[in-house]
Structure formats: structure tokens, C-alpha cells
Homo-oligomer: A and B are copies of this chain.
Amino acid sequence: MNEKMDDRKLTILNAVIRTYLETGEPVGSRTISKYTDLKLSSATIRNEMSDLEEMGYLMQPHTSAGRIPTDKGYHFYVDQLEENRSSSVEAMNSLLIAKTNRMEEILKKVVKMLALNTNYTTMISAPSVKRNKVKFIQLSRINEKQLLNVVVIDGNVVKNHIIDVKEGISDEQILRLNLLLNTRLNGLSLADINLGLISNIKEEAGDHSDIVSDVLDTIAEVIRAETDENMEIYTSGANNIFRYPELADSQRAAQLITTLEEKEGLADILQSDDDENRGIQVYIGEESPVESMKDCSIGTATYDLGDGMQGTIGIIGPKRMDYEKAMDNLKQVKQSLNDVFKNNSPAD
């Protein structure tokens, strides 16, 4: 009963999976008997496949159909790939990326290119730093009743906000506030700015403590914006799900589209989990953290721009996706992003 995975079984399992990836149809014993080198009759294959089914790698969609891989079967296949692969995708045209220097533009371009290359749906999360520190604060006058407040944090993320002031404020007072805010807040992270410090600063600010509140709100907002929870995420190639009949029926498609549009739970997939950044992660079927993607497979890779800034790229496809291609592409994009930003610090 409890069979052991021998060499021949392995060959057959791989053949079945690879064939299924191509065709999307259950694959029968006769097909394999012809497809492989090992000259075995369909009957023998049949016995082996029966064993593989018992072992949990294959299954039949119904009594008298060929076999298709189970999630476990896919996983076995993917793990195998991961070991002895060498990327073969030609380098992405880095120039195309380097040309524009707005982070948002780059990410959109990358995710689009990836979707185009792979014919799958893709997503990318904007890089976010682990511990964001305030780098620079600037208040300046726009007119009598309005001030412009600019906050820059690590990674040159800039946030501006217009503050309405009721009573007049002199240029000198603005200067003083600038000095105060910068000396007290620069280099601090969100955690460092505690209530004691805040009331301290407000006291020093005197009349204009309300402006200080406003500035602090802005700081909180920009740092929060860079945190995992409301991570910026871009997607592309949603239409590609219609290439794969198993995902294209109204029910599933509507759910998927909704997920992608609302970006529900995508953050869960794209959070750059462990620092043990071991390359490429693959979620197959039920393993997906997101309900609407239980029929999909998802590949992710984390890219790193240095200074602790990192984000994640993801590819979403059917379970019978071309894992080799997907993984190669992920690896490639990851590398390209790392390279492009090595000597480059683009501002948003």
C-alpha cells in the first residue's frame, strides 16, 4: 500500500504535470506512454499513476478521466524547479526604467511589463522602509492666510500639506517654528515622537501650538502611509485571467477583479514577510492568503533597494501556470530593480 517514490515514478509524475501545464486537460496513461523515453506500456503507467494518486500527488477529476496534479503535486514540481534552475530570461531593459525617476511611474511600468511578459496578472508593492525617520521639515508662507508644510522622510518620500492660519503669523515666527521643529524632530521615527516630546514642543511653540499639531499630523500621516497596512500597490494585466478558462467564469472572475480593484488582502500576500529573504515564494491553490485566489497560484519575490527599503513583486495565474517562466521573470525583475536603484535615489 504505502508506496515509495522511486525514480520512475518521479519521471512519470513530472511528465504528467508538464503535460497538464500545457494542455489544461487531464492526462491519460496512453499519452504518457508515448511522451516519455522509458518505453513502458500504458498499462504500466496506469499502475504507477494509480500509486501516485494514492500518494497524494495526482487525482482524477472524475472516475474515468486522466489524472491532474493535486496542490501537493504542484508543490513537489515547483520545489524541484527551484533547486536546479538557472534563469534564462534576457535582462529587462533597465534603461527604460532608469529614464523616469518617479517611483510611482517606475513601479507602474515594471508591473505592466511583467504582465506583458508573462501573460499573468501582476502586482507590486511600493518599497517601504522599516523604521521611517523624519529627515526634514519646512514651513513656508504661501500667502497671508496659508502656510505650506513639507515633510521629508527617509527614502526621500515627500509629503506636503497646506495649513490655514486664522491669525497672522510673522515671517520671523515661521523661521522660529522651522528651527524648533527641525531641531526637535529630525532623525526621529514615529515611535520616538511621544506625548512628552509633543507637549514639550507645543509649549515652546507658544501661540502657534496648533500649527505644531498640524505638522505632527502630517508626519504621522506620511509615516503611516509608508507602513505595511496601507501599502501602495499597483496591479496590471487583470484582463489576463480571461486567458485561462478555469478562472474566467463570471463568478470567479468577478471576485478576482474585485480583489484586484479594491486591493483587498493583496498586502497580506505582498508583505515582505521574513527578513530571511529566501528568494521566491510560491503559494499554490488553498495556500493563498486570499479567498478569491484559492484557484490560483501566486509567486512573489522581494526586492531590496538598500537602506532597508523593500517591496514585493507578485504574479497571479492559474494553478497550471508556467512556474518556470513565472519564477524566472520574478527573479529577473527583482534583480533589475535592485540594480537600477543601486546608485539612484529617486524622489516621489
Give this chain's copy count: 2
- Binding-face segment, A72-80, A248-256, A312-320: A248-256
**A236 and B253 form a contact (CB under 8 A):** no
Task: Give the residues from 213 to 264 in chain A that come closer than 8 angstroms, CB to CB, to chain B.
Answer: 235-239, 242, 248, 250, 253-255, 257-258, 261
Per-residue CB contact flags for chain A residues 318-348 toward chain B (1 = under 8 Å, else 0) read 0000000000000000000000000001010
Q: Does A130 contact B (CB under 8 A)?
A: no
**A148 and B160 form a contact (CB under 8 A):** no
Measured CB to CB, the closest approach of chain B to A38, in angstroms, equals 39
The chain B residue sitting closest to A235, CB to CB, is B261
20 further interface pairs, Cβ-Cβ under 8 Å (given A238-B257, A239-B255) = A136-B142, A136-B148, A138-B138, A138-B148, A140-B140, A140-B150, A142-B152, A150-B160, A158-B162, A162-B345, A162-B347, A236-B261, A239-B254, A239-B257, A239-B261, A242-B250, A242-B254, A242-B257, A248-B250, A257-B257
Q: Does A135 contact B (CB under 8 A)?
A: yes
**A150 and B148 form a contact (CB under 8 A):** yes
Task: Give the residues from 136 to 161 in chain A that come closer than 8 angstroms, CB to CB, to chain B.
Answer: 136, 138, 140, 142, 148, 150, 152, 156, 158, 160-161
In the complex, what distance in Å separates the CA atom of A138 from the CA atom of B239?
43
**B142 and A135 form a contact (CB under 8 A):** yes
- Please give, as numbers and ranges, the residues of chain B lying within 8 Å of A254 by CB-CB distance: 239, 242
In the complex, what distance in Å separates the CA atom of A253 from the CA atom of B238?
11
**B160 and A158 form a contact (CB under 8 A):** yes
Choose from B160, B242, B347 the contact partner of A253 (Cβ within 8 Å). B242
- Please give, as numbers and ranges, the residues of chain B lying within 8 Å of A345 by CB-CB distance: 162
Choose from B135, B161, B235, B258 the contact partner of A239 (Cβ within 8 Å). B258
Choose from B152, B235, B242, B261 the contact partner of A148 (Cβ within 8 Å). B152
